[in-house]
Each structure stands twice: as structure tokens, then as C-alpha cells.
Amino acid sequence: MTDFAVETHGLTRRFGTLTAVRDLDLAIATGEVFGLLGPNGSGKTTTIRMLCGLLEPSAGTARVAGIDVATEPDRIKERIGYMSQKFGLYEDLTVAENLDFYAGIYGLKNAARRARLDEVIGFLGLDRRFGQLAATLSGGWKRRLALGCALLHRPAVLFLDEPTAGVDPAARRAFWRTIHELARGGTTVLVTTHYMDEAERCDRLAMMSGGHLIALGTPVEVAAQVGGTAGATLEDAFIVLQERDER
């Protein structure tokens, strides 16, 4: 056992002749908000899918919450929460029905089930939309509901793949306040984002390009590493990266 909630060594994934992720080394501490940053096709989503046990690595190793993703992928699912880019809940069910359904999937029963549902509903303010059909929710409330379903079984590690895509700025800020509250409670959060202002809210970042890790550190450190100057911003770094990829 280590102090790391997520640890990878040489993690690689190939699709035929394409190497989507190559020799990725990461060590993410418990309770850390860690960002994966990079343009489309950089390997972010493939990395998350491997760490969630949804995609088998072609080479290398990875452990999440102390569990090997290659040899025990089903056990990984018991210890993690996962929010994909696309809203994946049941739109013909209400907020309450979606939460109750996922509580059942996670095996929550009786008093413990009711107590956990009440806790998550109160934490995310979902009581205000309790009887509303998921299909009629705004983007921000849909994301909040998806997060609630992902949190019901108290995951040690939470994976959020572009969690605020298409959400208005106020809802994005509220979502990030929730992320940091979870981290303060000991949940490790790994998030991908295209928004530079969101990336700056992470404790540390890994910037990827073409499946490679090209920078690692705090937002200020990553901006300097990629941008080339001590005063560079993440926006500057992302522009440099895009220009480099276009050559």
C-alpha cells in the first residue's frame, strides 16, 4: 500500500497501430484534485477509461485505491465514481427515481440507503428538483444529478470527464465548489477539462499531447513548463501546445 490514490507506471494503450496513451507515469495523492489537460485526441479520456477498469492497458501498470486495474477491474468499480462527458442517466425518470435506482445498483438497503440518499440530496441541493423529470433539467442540474448518482456508494476516487461541458458559468463555479468540498472530505478527484479557469482550480495538473505526458505540476508550474516563461498562463501554454500540434 502507498499514500497514493492513483498510481501508474508506463501505462500504455494501443488501438492497432495508434498509441493513444504512451508510458504514462502518475502519482495522485489521497484528497487531491488532479486535472488532466490537453487538446482533443491527447489521451485524456483513454487514460480515465483505463483507470476505471473499462479499458484494458496494452502495457504498464496502474493501481486505483490500492487495486490493480488490469487484474481486478471489477473491484475497481466498487471503489470509484465515474461521470462521463455524456449525460448517462434515465431521462424518463425523475431526479428521485434516478437516485433510488442507482442506490439499488450499489447495493444500498433499508435505513442505510435512506440515510445516504438524504445525505447526497442535501449536499447537492437536489431536493429542489426532486420530482422533476431528468429530461427537463438544465445542463447544470443534470450534471449535479449525475454527480449525486456517482457519489452514492462513497467512492474513494471520483473520475469526472469534462463534467461542466455545455454548462453556464454560474453552474460551473457551483460545481467546482462541490468538487473541493469532496476533496476536503478525503475523496480524490481526477478531472478532465478544456476550461483553463477550471484547470487553475486543480491542486496539480498533467498536460498531455498525442498520448504523451508533456508537463506535470501545479497550474503555475505547468504553465511555465509548456509556455516557456515564468509568467506564462495556462491559456498561453494551451495556445503553444495547439500550435505545436498543428505543425
Residue 1 has pLDDT above 50, yes or no: no
Q: Are 188 and 29 in contact (CB under 8 A)?
A: yes
Beta bridge partners of 135: none
Domains and CATH numbers, the chain: 4-246 (3.40.50.300)
* Whether residue 166 has pLDDT greater than 90: no
pLDDT, one tens digit per residue, over 124-144 is 999 989 999 999 999 889 989
Give the global pTM.
0.91
> Residue 41's pLDDT is what?
87
From residue 90, how far is each of 130, 144, 154 by CA, in Å? 14, 14, 21
> In whole angstroms, how far apart are CA 147 and each of 15, 33, 127, 163?
30, 15, 14, 9
For the residues 201-226, what does the mean pLDDT come to? 94
**What gap in Å lies between CA 212 and CA 188, rounded to an integer?**
23
The pLDDT assigned to 165 comes to: 82
Q: How confident is the model at residue 192 (pLDDT cuts 50, 70, 90)?
A: very high
Residue 2 pLDDT > 60: no
pLDDT at 91 over 60: yes
Confidence at residue 246, expressed as pLDDT on a 0 to 100 scale = 65
Helix axes 169-184, 110-124, angle to 10 degrees: 130
Q: Which of 104-118, 183-197, 228-242 has the lowest mean pLDDT?
A: 228-242
- Average confidence score pLDDT of the chain: 91
Cell 484528497 identifies what position? 31
Answer yes or no: is pLDDT of 34 > 70.
yes
